[in-house]
Amino acid sequence: MNEERLPVFQDVLRAYQCIYKQVHRTPVLSSEAINSMTGATIQFKCENFQKVGAFKFRGASHAVLSLKDHELKKGVITHSSGNHAAALALAARMKGIPAYIVMPENSPQIKKDAVAGYGAHIIFCPPGLEFREQYTQELIKETGASFIHPYDDFKIIAGQGTAAFEFLNDAAEFDTLIVPVGGGGLLSGSLLSAKAWDSSIQVIAAEPIGADDAWKSFYSGRWHPSENPNTIADGLLTSLGKLNFRIITSMLDEVMRVPDEVIVQAMQLFWERMKIVVEPSGAIGLAAVLANPDYFRGKRVGVIISGGNLPFK
């Protein structure tokens, strides 16, 4: 079974062959103003333009399209109130199968609307991880749906790696690739792509100071949970997945921690200079450059913008 080994670059390639017809090949943009401000030559892979507004649609599509016929009928299930929920809902709808999303009843209305808009069955639970897991377990028993974890999953990791794969295909060469890290799905997939493409590309994870479990885990070599995370980057609150941690430990070059106020500066630069909407988690790569100007000056840097789901006004 695939799931007994770690995913490798060939799995990203297979994922790409599986999903490329239904994902956007998002553009690579740059800004003269931001380059002259930072002294670096930065290219941005704009997954904020991906379907559902985030890279999560890649992994979710791969997970859904990898299901076997008897699994497809019963649908998919996850517990999430964020981009993964919307992504799974859309991927399921495009395949014509049911999606069940377990969501805390106190989730923001905009997130409920997004998931409902993609036609998923929403099951509200009381706030708290134990309720989410309990409701999910019960629903799996009831429906037989396949549980799709948002990041700690072989197919998800391989799917998320397709963003960096496209980026490397479309961009001029770069020395360093910066990737946001929360659960580690995008980061571990990007590592598979970047290191296979050119092992000399340095890969840096960007993490909020207020949710620095990846930093602790990576530099101690021991998995640390995310405890009382506090950051504006609400996509990066979760602990590293176990599969993700194994890939990250063996392949990552560095973790940089970034204060929330620099994340906001980066969002403002995207807004004012590039006229694009980027959510806090998606702006953290540029924020890492802004927070470490000497480190990046003169370098050719690739930055993955992970998503753009920011409420209007």
Distance in Å, CB of 32 to a copy of itself, minimum: 9
Residue 263 within binding range of a copy of itself, rule CB under 8 A: no
The residue range among 11-19, 121-129, 208-216, 305-313 that interacts with a copy of itself, by the rule CB under 8 A, is 305-313
270-299: which residues touch a copy of itself (CB under 8 A)? 271-272, 274-278
Contact track, a copy of itself, 5-44, x by CB under 8 A:
----------------------x-----------------
The residue range among 34-42, 45-53, 121-129, 155-163 that interacts with a copy of itself, by the rule CB under 8 A, is 45-53
Q: Exposed, middle or buried by CB within 10 Å (0-12, 13-18, 19+), for 176?
A: buried
Query: What tokens does 15 get?
Result: 């994922």
Name the catalytic one among 31, 61, 66, 81: 81
Dist. CA 54–CA 124, nearest whole Å? 23
**Rounded to the nearest 5 degrees, what angle is found at the Cα of 279, between the Cα atoms of 278 and 282?**
80
Distance in Å, CB of 26 to a copy of itself, minimum: 10
Residues 145/77, Cβ–Cβ less than 8 Å? yes
Q: Exposed, middle or buried by CB within 10 Å (0-12, 13-18, 19+), for 137?
A: middle
Distance in Å, CB of 16 to a copy of itself, minimum: 21
Phi, psi of 207 (to 5 degrees): -140, 145
Is 26 or 190 the residue whose CB approaches a copy of itself more closely?
26
Query: How many binding residues for a copy of itself (CB under 8 A)?
Result: 17
Is 27 or 127 the residue whose CB approaches a copy of itself more closely?
27
The residue range among 167-175, 199-207, 264-272, 283-291 that interacts with a copy of itself, by the rule CB under 8 A, is 264-272
Distance in Å, CB of 278 to a copy of itself, minimum: 8
Q: Examine the residue annotation and report whether 95 is marked as an active-site residue of this protein.
A: no
What contacts 24+ positions apart, CB below 8 Å, involve 114-121?
A: 114/52, 114/85, 114/86, 114/309, 115/81, 115/85, 115/86, 115/89, 118/52, 118/86, 118/89, 118/90, 118/93, 119/89, 119/93, 120/85, 120/88, 120/89, 120/92, 120/93
197-236: which residues touch a copy of itself (CB under 8 A)? none
Q: Examine the residue annotation and report whether 56 is marked as an active-site residue of this protein.
A: yes
Residue from the set 7, 53, 159, 210 that interacts with a copy of itself by CB under 8 A: 53
Distance in Å, CB of 29 to a copy of itself, minimum: 9
Residues 65/158, Cβ–Cβ less than 8 Å? no
Q: What ranges make up the beta strands (E) of 97-208?
A: 99-104, 121-125, 146-147, 176-180, 202-208
Distance in Å, CB of 31 to a copy of itself, minimum: 10
Dist. CA 108–CA 119, nearest whole Å? 18
Residue from the set 2, 268, 293, 298 that interacts with a copy of itself by CB under 8 A: 268
Residue with tokens 């980057």: 233
Residues 83/235, Cβ–Cβ less than 8 Å? yes
Residue 308 within binding range of a copy of itself, rule CB under 8 A: yes
Q: What does the binding site for a copy of itself look like in residue numbers (CB under 8 A)?
A: 27, 48-49, 53, 267-268, 271-272, 274-278, 308, 310, 312-313
Positions marked catalytic = 56, 81
